[in-house]
Structure 1
């Protein structure tokens, strides 16, 4: 399995695009309050992946730089966002966006901030940001409250190859706060729930970069274990997987 944060998603891009969760409309609406929609204010979605979050914010009408270094992910983002003429696609990273100086009013990062070199990223965001730049960091964090969610987390913990090293769960809140220091970002939590069929649950699990691929000797064993869990907890052919969407938003200096 590739160790770097870019290439390890190449073979997961289709699954990622099809099965990863969206973000709560309430979160998107809250972000929208911090920008003037359909204006000259510019948004940059950093490590945009296949454009799941981008699609939700592109509807504001503002120019959106869709910054993504992985070709497979970017190709799917272009397909997803083909109806948005306000999206500009850029091959770049958080540490080197390839965006012009002072060109962005709002930077967003959904489900990716834990991959960044925060020192280099902060320097780059300052370079591309205009006065009063806002940075919004978002994660969908799976809950582990219900018996099914606990069993699902245990399955991921058992088979995830480097789960604890690369999961967003490894990033302490203090690390995020230090990125915004000396200021303090606003912190919000938004709840949402998905009800997944067996096919959807399988696709979501296999979209995680730390789960075994088909060439792994434990691949079939893992899928069988997942099916057992699904059958134990499903109701009317679906299981309930809930999330807390965490949002940090603030300026950087």
Structure 2
């Protein structure tokens, strides 16, 4: 992970923690069925952010290493996961996790894999993994099917600074599959829907690292455009954002 990919979320950590979408239960159920989850299993959530996905897998009762290099994000993960007695927090990256060698049975990464140097990450997972560890890669990818979703995508592209270069959309299926052992990755897509008020939509928009932050001189114009977009499409005070949540899971 390059330094910019770590620091770019520092001013967005609170919005990220409060307003980013969750993950569908069906994905967690499938992941639990695909990997032999037991209380003795050791999981590492790599680039865990504020712990949104970690909180879900923590319900399995396994020991979890929460690996996150950004101190602001990591502090919010501490807050979110304060009741998780089996969570161990590490200041590390995908390429240099700080994990003990041969210690991890399942690596998970949600909304972060596109930031990794895949060759270095694979070497690090092989070092820290136990035998042939499982790896699960998860993304929420916004749909653009409805009138609002298509208009919101145009809005994002208009105001974004480097959306096309950092977006998870650039990670195609073949590229992700190549990270896993040959023929050992399963790919599934799950549906997920959020209904957002305007404050929630604004908070989610401000959580994106490729859009102007709250100190930007562009922010007033952007928020006016966002509110107009919301008002055109809202129904009973909310707009609908739907996602296809992509899961790759297999052995290294």
> TM tier, shorter chain?
over 0.9
- Return the offset for 1:170: 1.6
Q: Which residue of 1 aligns with 2:134?
A: 134
The corresponding residue for 2:13 is: 13
CA deviation after TM superposition for structure 1 residue 181, in Å? 4.3
Kept in 2, the 8 Å contact 1:47–1:68? The answer is yes
With structure 1 as the length reference, what TM-score do the two structures score? 0.96
Superposed CA deviations along residues 183-241 of structure 1, whole A, max 9, x for unmatched, are 34100001010000000000000000010023323211111111011000100000000
Structure 2 SS opposite 1:214: coil
Q: CA deviation at 1:38?
A: 4.8
Gaps of 5+ in 1: none
The 3-state SS of whatever aligns with 1:109 is strand
Asked if the contact 2:108/2:135 (under 8 Å) is kept, the reply is yes
In 2, the alpha carbon distance for the partners of 1:10 and 1:216 equals 15
The SS at the match of 2:190 is strand
Q: Distance in 2 between matches of 1:30 and 1:137?
A: 13
Task: Measure, in 2, the Cα distance between the counterparts of 1:132 and 1:164.
Answer: 34
How many angstroms apart in 2 are the aligned matches of 1:35 and 1:58? 15
Match of 2:157 in 1: 157
Q: How many residues in Structure 1 have an aligned counterpart in Structure 2?
A: 251
* Pairing of 1:2-81 with structure 2 (within 5 A): 4-81=4-81
Corresponding position of 1:210 = 210
Q: Check conservation: 1:157, 1:163, Cα contact below 8 A.
A: yes
Which runs of 5 or more residues in structure 2 are unaligned? none
Give 1:66 deviation, angstroms.
0.3
CA displacement at 1:32 relative to structure 2 = 1.3
Q: Please state how far the C-alpha of 1:133 moved relative to its aligned partner.
A: 0.8
How far does the alpha carbon of each residue in 1:22-77 deviate from its partner, in whole angstroms, 9 at most, with x for none? 10011011111234445211000000000000000001000000000000000000
**1:248 and 2:248 equivalent?**
yes
Deviation string 1:146-180 (CA, Å, 9 cap, x unpaired) is: 00000000000000100001110122222101111
Q: Is the 8 A contact 1:35 1:41 kept in 2?
A: no
**CA contact 1:37–1:61 (8 Å) conserved in 2:** no
Provide the C-alpha distance between the structure 2 equivalents of 1:189 and 1:234, rounded to a whole number of angstroms: 27
Q: Which moved more, 1:129-138 or 1:11-20?
A: 129-138
Residue 195 of structure 2 corresponds to residue 190 of structure 1: no
Shift of 1:15: 0.3
SS in 2 for 1:180: coil
TM-score calculated relative to the size of structure 2: 0.97
The runs of 4+ residues in structure 1 deviating greater than 3 Å are 34-38
Q: Is the 8 A contact 1:61 1:86 kept in 2?
A: yes
